[in-house]
Amino acid sequence: MQLFERIKEVTKVLFVYDEEARVDLFEVFPAIKRFYSNRHNLFYLRTFGDISFSVIIIMGLFGPQDPTRNVSLFLAWGIWWVSVVLSWFFLGKFWCGICPFPGVGRILQALGLSLNREPPVFLIKHRVSFALAFFALIIWAESVTNMKNWPLGTALLLLSILLGASVMGVLFRGQSWCRYLCPMGKIIGAAATLSMIELRPDLRKCKTCRSFSCKKGTPAAAGCPVYLGTFNIRNNIDCLMCGRCVHLCDKDGPRLNLRNPFVELVINKGRYITCSYIIPFLIGSQLARFIQQTSSYSVAEQWFFGSNTITFTIFLGLGCIFALLVIRIGAYLFRITEDPLFGKFSPMVPVFVPLAFTGELVYRLDYFLTHIGNVLPIFGRQFGFNLEHLHFSISATMIYWICSTSLCIGAISSCYVLHLFNTRDFEDGIPKNNYYALHILVILVFAIYAFLL
């Protein structure tokens, strides 16, 4: 009976929108808390990640450059990317908590080889712009160099991210790269606003704390790697969900909550610049990448001197302009874009969050489903085994319907967020014709996605 009640409570929290409703997973599943409390568990996961990425980089640098003979490509673009994207919806920024990229920096800091400085003000102020520029460069390089078929390019990309994280680790204390510059971290942070779990403080317990060990650390263990501490966590954008605060807190303050996945989108209302910058670019880049996979793209290439670089750059720019225009029109239709408590906000940004990140999932899932059947034969060719008989393929029709269904879920979710804004925060204050027009904007973007797919 108790199990039935728990299932009922979990189901209600997930599927019935209530801004206050939460289920404390540490309380319901004590094994999860024990997992976080034992720091060795996260160490083992990070070590596995370190070894895996080292193997991918080594195979990319020194393995065969023929994409049909180097399995590192699928490990990077199929397994890693799809796993990261899926984790957004279910685990928030947990990937960032076990990410291998800051590993070298952590080792150098442990050896006393870091300057241990405070991050400069200009870095903190412009962190989102820098991170978005890095992510734009990654997407651009991936697309214009056909990096998913270039083992060396993939290895160099991973090495460049590793180098950036390591240099930041030498210069500044903690994981400043993760907090301020990591392009993946900002994307995951924006997506984690849609996650069904959150790490939050029990503020009643935090008020009695005088040590602030979750942020400052103890003589035996370092504090929060991104300078937050549990008591400062208000959203999913910056917290790595590494659980270090669970281990350090002597007040039992951290709580891992299950929640309705749309709660943070509605509460935030798009007022954080991380989402305001990321979402338009993500939509614009997806449109460009989807166009690149169509037969019409080769025709467009001929207009631009046969150059894939020029063609994709133009489509990327046009896609971002289109996304910004749609968001601006949406803000105009909302009418209300300012709150006396927290100032200006952009409600169309959280409306598009589900569709934008579902679009990224579909783009990555298409590669995964297309190539999964050839992984074992590629592995065999690379290491001298005959595994050709293990080849299989997923039909293009099946892939299309899987991707289309995912996009439909994203579009429906975006329309639901729009519904929540109108019926709850705006108290049906959006004019009826504007409300219908806002839905048409969402459907328009979905229709373009579906058409290009």
What pLDDT, in 10s, does the model give residues 176-194?
999 999 998 889 988 999 9
Domain boundary (204, 237, 264) is at 264
| CB atoms inside a 10 Å sphere around CB 4 | 8
Phi, psi for residue 401 in degrees, rounded to 5: -70, -35
Q: Is 257 helix (H, G, I), strand (E, B) or coil?
A: strand
User: Quick one: 439 and 306 in the same domain?
Assistant: yes
User: Quick one: 96 and 63 in the same domain?
Assistant: yes
Query: Which amino acid is residue 208, in one-letter code?
Result: T
Half-sphere exposure of 228 (CA within 13 A, CB side): 26
- How far CA 47 is from CA of 42, 101, 355, in Å, comes to 8, 11, 34
**Which pLDDT band holds residue 342 (cuts at 50, 70, 90)?**
low
Residue 111 predicted with pLDDT over 70: yes
Query: Which amino acid is residue 111, in one-letter code?
Result: L
Domain boundary (214, 245, 264) is at 264
pLDDT of residue 221: 84
Mean per-residue pLDDT, 224-229: 88
Domain boundary (220, 243, 264) is at 264
**Which pLDDT band holds residue 343 (cuts at 50, 70, 90)?**
low
Least confident of 116-130, 264-278, 331-345, 418-432: 331-345
What is the rounded distance in angstroms from the CA atom of residue 257 to the CA atom of residue 201? 10
Q: Which two tokens stand for residue 394?
A: 């997923």
Contact 279, 351 (CB under 8 A): no
- Number of structural domains (the chain) is 2
Contact 344, 338 (CB under 8 A): yes
User: Quick one: 258 and 282 in the same domain?
Assistant: no
| Chain segment 380-431, per-residue pLDDT in tens | 999 999 999 999 999 999 999 999 999 999 999 999 999 998 888 777 788 8
User: Quick one: 285 and 228 in the same domain?
Assistant: no
User: Quick one: 109 and 258 in the same domain?
Assistant: yes
Q: Is 373 helix (H, G, I), strand (E, B) or coil?
A: helix
Contact 165, 225 (CB under 8 A): no
- How far CA 329 is from CA of 267, 286, 316, 440, in Å, comes to 21, 20, 20, 12
- Domain housing 243: 2-264
User: Quick one: 207 and 325 in the same domain?
Assistant: no
- Torsion, Cα of 104, 109, 111, 114 (10° steps): 110
Q: Residue 348 contacts by C-beta under 8 Å, 6 or more apart in sequence?
A: 270, 326, 327, 330, 331, 334, 438, 441
Mean per-residue pLDDT, 20-42: 89
Residue 250 predicted with pLDDT over 90: no
Task: Please state whether 217 falls in left (phi above 0), alpha (psi between -120 and 50) or beta.
Answer: left
User: Quick one: 301 and 193 in the same domain?
Assistant: no
User: Quick one: 329 and 422 in the same domain?
Assistant: yes
Q: Which two tokens stand for residue 133?
A: 């520029």
Q: Is 228 helix (H, G, I), strand (E, B) or coil?
A: coil
Residue 260 predicted with pLDDT over 70: yes
Mean per-residue pLDDT, 377-381: 96
Count the helix, strand and coil residues of the chain and give each as a percent rounded to the nearest 5. 70, 5, 25
Residue 270 predicted with pLDDT over 80: no
Residue 1 predicted with pLDDT over 60: no
Residue 147 predicted with pLDDT over 80: yes
User: Quick one: 212 and 300 in the same domain?
Assistant: no
User: Quick one: 9 and 114 in the same domain?
Assistant: yes
- How far CA 365 is from CA of 142, 270, 383, 407, in Å, comes to 16, 27, 26, 12
**Which pLDDT band holds residue 341 (cuts at 50, 70, 90)?**
low
User: Quick one: 12 and 97 in the same domain?
Assistant: yes
Candidate ranges 145-154, 230-239, 242-251, 330-339; pick with highest mean pLDDT: 145-154
What is the rounded distance in angstroms from the CA atom of residue 447 to the CA atom of residue 424? 27
| Chain segment 57-82, per-residue pLDDT in tens | 999 999 999 999 999 999 999 999 99
pLDDT of residue 425: 77
Contact 194, 88 (CB under 8 A): yes
Residue 441 predicted with pLDDT over 60: yes
**Which pLDDT band holds residue 339 (cuts at 50, 70, 90)?**
low
**Summary mean pLDDT of the chain:** 90
pLDDT of residue 11: 87
**Which pLDDT band holds residue 28 (cuts at 50, 70, 90)?**
confident
Nearest CA to 169 among 218, 103, 221? 103
Q: Which two tokens stand for residue 304?
A: 């631009």
Residue 348 predicted with pLDDT over 80: yes
pLDDT of residue 408: 95
What is the rounded distance in angstroms from the CA atom of residue 136 to the CA atom of residue 148? 16
Looking up tokens 């927290």, which residue turns up?
342
pLDDT of residue 42: 86
User: Quick one: 259 and 278 in the same domain?
Assistant: no
